[in-house]
Structures are given as C-alpha cells and as structure tokens.
Amino acid sequence: MTPRARRVYAGRLLNVDLETVEAPDGSTLQLELVHHPGAAAVVALASPIESDDPSVLLLKQYRYAAGGPIWEVPAGVLEPGEAPAECARRGLKEETGAEAERIEHLTTILTTPGFTDERIHIFLATGITAGEPHPMADEFFEVRAMPISPALELIRNGEIADGKSIVALLYVAGFRLGM
C-alpha cells in the first residue's frame, strides 16, 4: 500500500499530515505526523578540548512551551537546501556570536519518532572565536560559558531537561572527553 496523506495544518515551521499507512502486519493505520525541516545543535567548546574541564557555551533561553527559561546548547532550524554543518555554524553565530575554526558531526537524533520526522544533527565546535549574539525577534536568552562538569551536574539535577542538549553534552563528555 502506498501511503496517503492529507495536510491538516501548514505552518511557518512545521506541517501536520493525517497519513494512512500499512503496518508491518498488513493492517491499515491512520497516523498524525508532524513534519519538521530538521535542526542542528552545537556543543561549542570555549576552551581547548585538552583542558581538564573545558568550558561549553550554553543558553538560558525563554521557551513558552516549556513554561519559562531552560538551559540549551546553541541550535538552529535547517533552512531549505542548507547542509546541517552550515546550519550549525549559522546557529552558533546567531545565538552566541561565536565562530568555530572546526566543526565536527557527532551524531543525529530522532526527537520523538512516534509522531514526528524531526532529526537534530549534533556537532562539536572547537577553535572558538567570541562575538556578539544576533538573536531573532522572537528569541530571548543569555549566553553563558561554563566548565562541562557543572553543565553535567545541571543534567543530573534536572536543570537541563532539553533532550538535544542532554544528548549533546553527554555525548561529548563520554565519547570525546572520557568523563
């Protein structure tokens, strides 16, 4: 069976389709799917990776859906035709003002595959040059550099609850820094 879709919502950032699909057992399912262009998130090391406890750039950003400000790594939504690495560089510059000498793809995550096709590409940025952030009109945040150990403690105590940020920071700590 070829999937059939009916667009029930078309928005600035995402679309919602009601899709009729064939399940693995041959039955027919009707699914509500949120289609998202994808995003790139960045763990920006503000100090050399060889440091005992390298600093990372974090945002404390107001998120209405989360009920107020939350801690996040810098990120951006993919523009049409934009490569994830370019999106990562753009998001880093817009949200922190920083530019990276090197940017390395670490992994790609599916945010909530039960109802959306959103993928977030996670990058490590090193060789950081500081600058001034350029937030969009609907963005409200402060940028803070902190050693990764306290950032990991913010995950442990629930102050960092954003999924992409948790994955990104734990990935870097575990697979790049051996913490």
Options 139, 142, 153, 159, the catalytic residue? 139
Task: State yes or no: is 86 an active-site residue.
Answer: no
The angle that helices 148-156 and 163-171 make with each other, rounded to 10 degrees, is 130
Cα separation of the two ends of the chain: 48
The partner residues of 70 in beta bridges, in order of sequence, read 61
| CA pair distance 93, 101, nearest whole angstrom | 12
| CA pair distance 145, 149, nearest whole angstrom | 12
Residue 164 DSSP one-character state: H
The partner residues of 33 in beta bridges, in order of sequence, read 17
List the 39-44 sheet strands across, edge first.
Answer: 75-77, 39-44, 119-129, 99-110
Q: Which residues are catalytic?
A: 139
